[in-house]
Amino acid sequence: MLDGLLILLLFQFLGEVVIHFTGLPLPAPVVGMVLLLLALMFNLPGGDRVSEAAGALIRHISLLIFPLGVGIVLQWSRYQDYALALTVAVVFGTIVTMVLVTLLLKVLMPREHHHD
Amino acid sequence: MTDLLHTPLFGLLLTLASYRVATWIYGKAHSLPVFHPFLVASIPVVVVLPLAGLSYEEYREQIQGLSFLLGPATVALAWPLYRQLRTVRSVWKPVLITTLVGAVLAAGIAVLLAWWLGAPEPVVGSLAPKSITTPIAVEVVRSTDGFVALAAGAVAITGIVGALVAGPVFRLLRVRDDRIRGFALGLVAHAIGTARAFEYGEKAGAFASLALGLTGLVTALALPWLWPWVAGLLFGI
């Protein structure tokens, strides 16, 4: 757990360093994620020690997120004028995207040899 | 006594307790998407904060320590992505094409609909990352000048709607391939869709995890470059 957290914070820091020196318009944690992925693909020694901390953080991601979402209700006056646009874009947009992506996969994905 | 309300301890306690109750309810409801902890945990917080006389800004400050963990949580996504990359080598081509096209569709459809219905730029910008996993979305939304709260909410609702309509959509389109069901769920409905995909089995879950990681990555890498151009086109700035 401790090693994993150390690795995650180290790579987030590396992401910050890369952003600082390159001025890329990217979120530092995303750069850290790419760097960690590359390190794992090149067999970073002890890389699998990240699994426990990574698993715990990802499992409880809703805990980190929902306090941001309550802002929608508490600052509703900021958004109420666009309630229709928001609802249509999010709900209808998601349904349409789901249909299109599923159709695309049906066309592109080669058949499996065995069926279950 | 009331000065106790204005300490980080109060905000953290309220947040953790709400989340704990919400995960219990979610388990009791057999992980039904409408009972997702994101929604249920929000209710006590939304009720208690005004009663305690706390502003949203002060609450956000109280729980800064918790929000900080979103950074390492984003980095952590490299782990499941790495694990899944090995299982799908044989179908990398359809996977890659679908990720690129799907990421554009997911963001583009929402952006165009909101723009068409008259939403202003920061609101439209908040919706662009709606199909990607929340830790990445709240980072990316800074580059589109959107509202973090709105982005987080749009992502959550997208996940819930996606997980709910997936079953009917797959039945209607006669999809029985778990690789397709999983990948579509992970791409459109991120983590909530991935949880739904695991109900179809391990393979669907693996493809959903892969789609979640790839879509988040592609969107995070492309949106900060593309957004100024898209905003210029739609809003003429």
The pLDDT-based confidence of B9 (bands split at 50, 70, 90) is very high
Q: Do A106 and B173 touch (CB under 8 A)?
A: yes
From chain B, pick out residues whose CB is under 8 angstroms from the CB of A116: 178
Query: Is A70–B149 a contact, with Cβ atoms under 8 angstroms apart?
Result: yes
Q: Check CB contact of B48 with chain A, cutoff 8 Å.
A: no
For an interface test with A, give the residue of B16, B69, B75 to mutate (most A CBs within 10 A).
B75
Yes or no, beta carbons of B158 and A108 under 8 Å apart: no
Q: Is the pLDDT of residue B82 over 50?
A: yes
Average pLDDT rounded to a whole number, residues B17-37? 92
Per residue, the 3-state secondary structure of chain B, as one string, reads: CHHHHHCHHHHHHHHHHHHHHHHHHHHHCCCCHHHCHHHHHHHHHHHHHHHHCCCHHHHHHHCHHHHHCHHHHHHHCHHHHHHHHHHHHHHHHHHHHHHHHHHHHHHHHHHHHHHHCCCCHHHHHHHCCCCCCHHHHHHHCCCCCCCHHHHHHHHHHHHHHHHHHHHHHHHHCCCCCHHHHHHHHHHHHHHHHHHHHCCCCHHHHHHHHHHHHHHHHHHHHHHHHHHHHHHHHHHCC
pLDDT above 70 for B48: yes
B91 contact A CB<8A: yes
Please report which confidence band the pLDDT of residue B36 belongs to, taking 50, 70 and 90 as the band edges: confident
Most confident of A73-82, B59-68, B132-141, B195-204: B59-68
Sequential pLDDT tens for chain A (116 residues): 899 999 999 999 999 999 999 988 788 888 998 999 999 999 988 888 999 999 999 888 889 888 888 888 888 888 888 899 999 999 999 999 999 999 999 999 988 765 44
pLDDT at B211 over 50: yes
Contact flag A71-B131 (C-beta cutoff 8 Å) = no
Could you say which of A68, A92, A116 has the minimum Cβ distance to residue B148? A68
- CA-based nearest distance A96→chain B, Å: 8
Inter-chain residue contact B19 with A66, CB threshold 8 Å: yes
User: Chain A contacts of B118, Cβ < 8 Å?
Assistant: 82, 85
Please tell me if residue B123 touches chain A, with a CB cutoff of 8 Å.
yes
Is B75 within 8 Å of A82 when comparing Cβ atoms?
no
Averaged pLDDT for residues B181-194:
92
pLDDT of residue B42 exceeding 50: yes
B109·A96 Cβ contact <8 A: yes
pLDDT at A116: 47
Cβ distance of A34 and B162 shorter than 8 Å: no
User: B204 pLDDT exceeds 50?
Assistant: yes
Q: Which of residues 140-179 of B touch A (CB under 8 A)?
A: 140, 142-143, 147-150, 152-158, 161-162, 165-166, 169-170, 173, 175-179
**What pLDDT does residue A113 have?**
62
For the question of an ipTM over 0.95, the answer is no
User: Where in chain A are the domains?
Assistant: 1-68, 70-116
Q: Where are the domains of chain B?
A: 2-68, 76-235
